[in-house]
Structure 1
Amino acid sequence: MLEGLKQALLRRSSMPVTLAAAAITLLVLGFNYYVHFPLSENAEQRELRSLTNLLDGYASQVEEQMIGVETTLTALGSIIYDERYSAREKHLLLKQAADALDIVRVFGVTDINGRIIHSSRSFPAPDVDLSGRDYVKYFLDGGDAPRFLSGPVKNLVDGRWQLSFARAIRNPYGQLVGVISTVIDPGTMIDRIAKSTIPVDYVTLLDRNFNLVARKPAKDEMISKSMADAEIYTDVANSSERIVANVYSNVFTGQARFGVAERVFHDTLVISTSRPYDYAMQYWNVFSTGITIASVILLVFMIGILWTINLRALATQRYNKKLQTINSELEIARNDAEKLARIKDDFLANMSHEIRTPMNAIFGLTQLLKRTPLEQQQSEYVRQIGLSGKFLLGVIDEILTFSKIEANELVLDQEPFVLPDVIDNVGSIMSMSVNDKAIEAVIDVAPDVPRSIIGDSQRLQQILVNLISNAIKFTDAGTVRLDVHKEHAPEPILCFQVTDTGIGIPENQQATIFNPFTQADASTTRKYGGTGLGLAISNRLATAMGGEITLRSSPGRGSTFTLKIPLRVGPNDIAPPLYFEKVDNLRVLIVDDQEPTREALQTIAHSLYVKADTAPDGQTAIEMLLNAKVPYDILMIDWQMPGLNGLETIERIPADKLEKMPAIIMVTAYERDLLSQTKNAEKYELLTKPVTGSSFMDAITSVSDASAAIRPGCAPAYKITDNALAGLKVLVAEDNIVNQQVAKDLLTSLGAKVHIADNGIKAVAAVEKHSFDIVLMDVQMPEMTGLEATERLRSSYPDLDLPIIALTAGVLENEQHKCREAGMNDFVGKPFDFELIVSKILKHVRVGSKSNKSNPAPKPADETVQSADSSPADAPAIPAQQATGSAWDDFPLHEEKLAIELTAGSVDLYHRLCKLYDPQARDCQTQIHQAIKDNETKTLSEQLHIMKGSSSQVAATRISKMSAEMERLTHNGEIEKVAAMLDEFDRVLDETLAILATKGDETSN
């Protein structure tokens, strides 16, 4: 009796442990169910979407090939019916067409009796009766479909399977006069579209009756066999959807496969692709299996702990029963032991939570500390914490990029870009990375490297920055150089070489240097830092571009990383910048002790049409200056040289013995701040290595007397007087009323007669009705753009001598090139530069000349041509929101000094522009909201463009920058991001208008 009660008590005490074990078991089982079913289904759907996208590409290629064949049949049918061609000429045309299409084996033409009358294979055509062939018989029996595609038929001569594709030849009365047909090689077709498939994928082409036409991998014994009973094709037959996708069983092997099928080419063909389920899901299966194993281990571990606790509890109870007679001291000791056990259990239970809590506090308190007054040392500590956080973010970003590459989700752009722009960006980063290291940084671009390249400029720059950053990081002193040249082996290759004189890489470690999370050795990571992902990412990106990265390195001597990518030259619309019109009289003497640097600088100079000589040291440079028959205009000299350095050389130049002292450009590879603090440093232009074409020209421009000829797009300088434009008749085509007011007031103040047109159509009409000396044409206008208006004027009136200057916010070279292509003579960027506009006008028009450049029957050109409804409607006021910190807060709301400069110092005009800006901005704001609501991207882009231009003209910098970014996002189709910016856009606009309202009120005062 007592023993039974004892067992009952023991069982009752184990109930919590049993319940806890059951709860843990249920949680583990539930989690595994979620992983193996809902998440597994998501993985399957992701694979099906990937396979569907792949099939779309295959289907598009089949459509293109079949449409090409059908187009050729139609064209040849018209020629065959045309009696102007002889039989031999028709044969030759058929033969040329067959040779041009690699999937076509032969073209043939039969008469209304089904006999061959023309063939691409022979002349004269063989006398063969094809009236019994289904593709001919269909039309002879009165078939009225535009095309007929037969099923697969094996050629009796060479045993190859083929399809016959035919179209009827009818006279203008619709009567059948013959049938033109072609024999298509489906094997060639499937090989073309599926050449990049992975080995385990099947790509299958069937006719409309689901008879197998072609397959990759090929299985000739299955060709022409019906596949209608296969599940996937049963779904195609019964579905109204364009594409069917699911998991199917292979009808022959029973293997489970992901399958996608689609009807193509007017439902005459069916194309499908499939992939083994196990292959596609192998990574997921490894993951889910790992989850299962980990769950089992965790479950066993937790049950073991609970069972141990249970056993201990039971043992304690039994022990307590046996020790009932023990004295009170032992009882106290036992109670203390149980208390310690409970403390230990609580500690273990809360450990995970307690570890995460201080980590969150560290990051949160760092942000709070930045907002409090701190001493310098404290600020440095906070900064170091922030830098560590940024480093952590960098590591995470690298891992995310690597993960994206691993998942094949990285998409490369294939757009034209300007290679020198990328080189300039890399050079800037290179210059900053060198910092205070004693490194000679050199960039050398071969003259034959094209400017316009097709590819992904951002990813190319990412690779180059990674390679150069590594080179600088592992080089304490010496040289780091980037060489760019072109190779032909056998296809054009663009080659980038990054060479350093750093620590080098041992040969036995070079094989693993491109592996992820790998560096040369553990000491490298400790000394130089880094995740070991940079080279891995660069290598993967190079491979995705169709190129490769190779390495040559010797320990202690340095390394050379070579990136080679296929060279695809971009379109000609990216023209070189108009730096100058060959300033042949500009002579530069380049002085540098490093021969590679001298050659690189001289190459840059020659590419910019600047005459340049070189000297290896300061003494030679002085002798060349003294002995020069024609004096040098500019001395470009390296600061740090053995013997005489740059500063010492300049001090020893005998200026009294020179015809003229050259302007000085001091070139430095490092310690620019130290150089700027030296004596007379303010007299010299400083140029930091590596030198690029852009920085070279900027330096020369800043010191040269010929800067007006050198600066991109600048007109010669003219002295602007009050009557500089007296008597000139100017047409301003501009849809923005703020810009209209600016142009009219500025030009009128100089004596010009201004005529306004607010769109391209009215601009063309104004030129046809009035006589003008010059036209200022906005590029983007409603109804008809400035480019379209210019093209119409140039094509309609080829003899019209009327200068047209583009007003554009686009400063890219290809946009400026489009202006020239349309017939414009010059361009001015927005916001308007008053002196530049006047100088451009004076460059193209001589003041005082008789205006006879437009219509010979002119009317007075002093009125404004605008639609009555062009004034913006007042938009409902939007309540101001409390400003919150954002990246846009780095830009000022309004720059009054800049705004007055843009109006040539006219404060009154500035105040009137502020008053005009409010209603137009509100109107744009209303239309932007409505355009986003209606998903009208064209209207949205136009209104954002107007907002950007008018805001920049009144120097409302922040709202102008936001409008520009939203316009860019709109062009890229990212409307959701534009919508997400609306609240902040409204807030910034409200704050801007509140400031400008006070300026507009000053006009009435």
Structure 2
Amino acid sequence: MEKLIKILIVDDDEVDRMAVKRSLKSAGVLVEITEAEDCADTLAKLSIDQNYSTAAKLSPPDKSQQLSEVETPEKALPLNQIFDCKFDCVFLDYRLPDGDGLTLVKNVREAGLKVPLIVLTGQGDEQIAVELMKAGASDYIAKGKMSPESLSRSLHNALRVYRAESQAFYASQKLKESEERYRLVLEGVNDGIWDWDLTKNEVYWNDRLLEIIGLVRDQFGSTMDALYSRLHPEDKDGIVRAIAAHLEQAIDYNVEFRLLHSSGAYRHCTSQGKAQRNSQGKALRMAGMISDITDRKLAEDALERERQQLKQIITCVPVAMAMFDTQMRYLANSHKWLTQFNFEWQSLTNLSHYELFPDTPNRWKMMYQEVLKGEVVSVSEDAWERADGSVMYLRWAAHPWYDPDGKVGGIVMVADKINELVEARETALKASQVKSQFLANMSHEIRTPMNGVLGMAQLLLRAPLEPKQRESAQTIYRSAEHLLSVINDILDFSKIEAGEMRLEKADFDLDSCLESVIEMVAPLAEEKNLELDFLIDSAVPKKLVGDSGRLKQILLNLTGNAIKFTDRGQVLVHVSVKRGDRLADGRQQENLLFSVRDTGIGISPEGQTKLFQSFSQVDASPTRAYGGTGLGLAICKQLVEMMGGAIGVRSLLDGGSTFWFAVPLEKQLQVEPQTAELALKKLLVVSASALRRAAVRSLAQSWGARCYEAETAAAALTWLQNANSSIPGHSELGEKCCDAVLVDLQMPDLDAEEFGQKVRSIQSVNLLIAMTALREQPKAEALCSVGFSGYLIEPVRPSGLLEALRAGVKRRGEFESLEAANTCKLPGVNSQYVAPNSPSSLRILLAEDHPINQQVIVEQLAALGYDADCAANGQEALDLLAEKGYDLVLMDCQMPVLDGYATAQKLREREKGDRHTFVIALTAHAMPGEREKCLAAGMDDYLSKPVDLDALAVALKKYESQNVEFKNKYGVKSINLAENPQLETNYPEVLEAAKPVAVPAPRAIALQAWEHADCDGLFDKSRLEQLGRVNIKLPERLLQAFVGNAQADVAAAKIAAEAKDWQTVEYQAHRLKGTSANVGVALMSDLAAQLEHQARGFQSQSAASGLSTIEVVENILASLSSHLARVQEFVETRMFG
């Protein structure tokens, strides 16, 4: 198909324009005609600037190949515009209204446009035709001779020339681009280029090659001889042969040589090249490149020298050292290594370490792998049991070494045989033990007569003596007592060193232990006018198992030191607890934290390094202000560590000190019922000392009473008056505003007698107790005759406070026993709570899939005064929350359909900040990070299963507002231990537990079945007792329901295990673990946890099959079935008589 030709006809005569169009059509040319009448119109249609001085600035059309611009004198068009005009040809009249055709032709060409121009004229002047052709016209046609044939012929000739020129132009441009790219490549590689024309024996060298040699072009010839002449004599023949081999036999040309630089030095170079051959295979030319590798060569040589030097150093170093690669093959080793391991005069290079030492322990091989990952391993003492039965003691270390790329290249190991040192140490230890044994015997022999001296001195002091004689007898007694203390320290220390110190393991009462400490140190504190306080958090269990004597010894030492080194201020002994692990015999282990904080002289960082060391003191100078043997803290450290605990100190010079120790102690399994206590509900303590208020409050809480505080007498009276005037029936306190008021007589500006009269005027106050120092006892006794019910000697101690309250009640004739139904204590339980006055308004939703767990928690909530709805999965919980709305959700983390984590996240997304429903997580997982995972999912708090009643109460009361509203109304604040730096503790949950809360007091139940049954640790008796606090029949009901549910869970787990459906096994085991712990079947809970762990591990393996796998799971399932049968038998035959 013929291509359409676009033509521009320029003529001011319309008749002439029509004539041209008719002629073209008559000639059969397929054209598209555009018309113009003058020069200006023509230039516009050709997109040329009307000023003719510059080319039009056109946007280039979208072409697949863009050409760079070409320059023309003063004017320029984009290259694509030179030939890519929108017209294929222009027919123009010579004479136009605003100019002539010659000028127009010149303007178009000057603008750089190459479009064909055919001039039509009525004149036949040949001179004009010549001028037009010179100016750039493609042809010239006289109008009188114009015919369709002439027009067609002229048009096609012009187009043919135009196309040829455009093709040549584009080819030229592409050649220039190719040459430019080749030039850029050659310059970019930074290599010397040579091109040898074998037919002419001429060589082209580029500038970079001349730079490598250090010459300019005029100094270097254009033949290969110029290159050969600068080759190192040792390299020349080889290079000539390599080039000849390539030209003649087409062998690859890739060589390395040294090239003489103009400076006289040789440069290391590599060269590659390839020949171009004709059809017969004869080489016509050969080209290649030369690279300067001098810097690399020098670096390689330096590295090799360093390696050789390192090898020499390792060989000569006077320790046993070896260097290995990543496969533990020897690269280098010292002579000492050979002699130490009996390889003298042998070469170990490239030999395998494991082949030389086949008895290498596996633990060492694992350590070597860690070193190959970049770790550093250092072992101060290691015993290597050799294959021949001997033992080699080594002190060794291993470090990775790195290659130039920064990767681990292997291991450098240093090992030192220390058999002689170990033997010498053992000998020294034996000698020390002999010495310590002798010292222990001698101390014992000395202590016996010292006891006689002390006894006789005491008898002498009771006899009537003259003042001088009494003073002498007192001096004898004090000196003998001090000497006995020193001897006791030496005896204890020698026993520890000799390995003869044994800790007792017996039941004891923590309160009694602490009170004995108070009795011994209180006089010392009063002598120095120091405030001494003992604060026991209400969550601390009192009935424990351990060595109370050694515990008392540690506390006496730390408290005595605190008093000794404090001249003014206060000393606080604080006891807190963190729940520990359950032991195999069913006992619950508790981690007790004791801290002794003082405001004394403090200890510098340098001095702290001397603490806990034998015979060491911070100030050991002869002029020191404080005496002592320097053994006390060392003995404390040894005793604490023997108990399985830790001890430490925090101190600032002139800023006081805190000595702390933490020890694990077991709770007693069965506790005898305590003696009757006072039926007190509400106490108000008035003291300027936050520590003293905290001590009273903690004790009151542990007896089930609420405690309020006031810092001044005026604040206390205001609170009492406001509380007493509350509207009956609407007061939170009820009929009595306060059962007892305890007032500290050491408050400044206190008129105790006036305060007592004002308190007595408030009829609803039962008891008024004075708290006083021992030296102020007569004053306190006198107050009892003017309205005070009794007095309490500080520091506050449990028995002292109880006795003071008893005495006060006795005076008023209002003694009551705690054996009443709602105040009697359950054996073994030290509850801090009292029964709620009314049901809570808190709306609670329990999301828990297991019915037994639902029953347990609902019963616990009911006992605490709360009602709850239940949801069996996360989706059901979300539906109920959307329907009813709740204040708080107890959320099980492992549920079907939607687990607790996803449920909490969806709840938070739904609320979007408009409201916030409190969510407390319930999970049987005790893994590190579980609490953080729950909080990250949007939950507010965390409780572990089985849910502890006291912990549940503490968690729920955070979200109760009744007490807060009451306190705001009356201006009475509760103690917040966290706000007082002196009461700092490591267990924030204990601080939370110290706030007032109303939850049920425990009920007494008979658990003779648990006491006498031979359960071998099957049951967690403390858990069952706790459930009995909620409801006396609850353990029985739960265990009966548990048997049926557990049988279904075990059966489902067996079926899933046979099908190797480990996900289902894990789910069933998790359910069984939680419910077993919840109802107190401890052994089954432990076994279910093992099964859960196994199933989770099998899921992560590519295939969980094989005899060992089946045996492990079958054994666990068989044990579960066996224990479940025991539970069923116990429930059916012996439970509750």
Q: Shorter-chain-normalised TM-score: which range? A: 0.3 to 0.5
Q: With structure 2 as the length reference, what TM-score do the two structures score?
A: 0.31
Which of structures 1 and 2 has the bigger CA Rg?
2
TM-score when normalising by structure 1? 0.35
Q: Which has the higher contact order (CA 8 A, sep 6+)?
A: 1
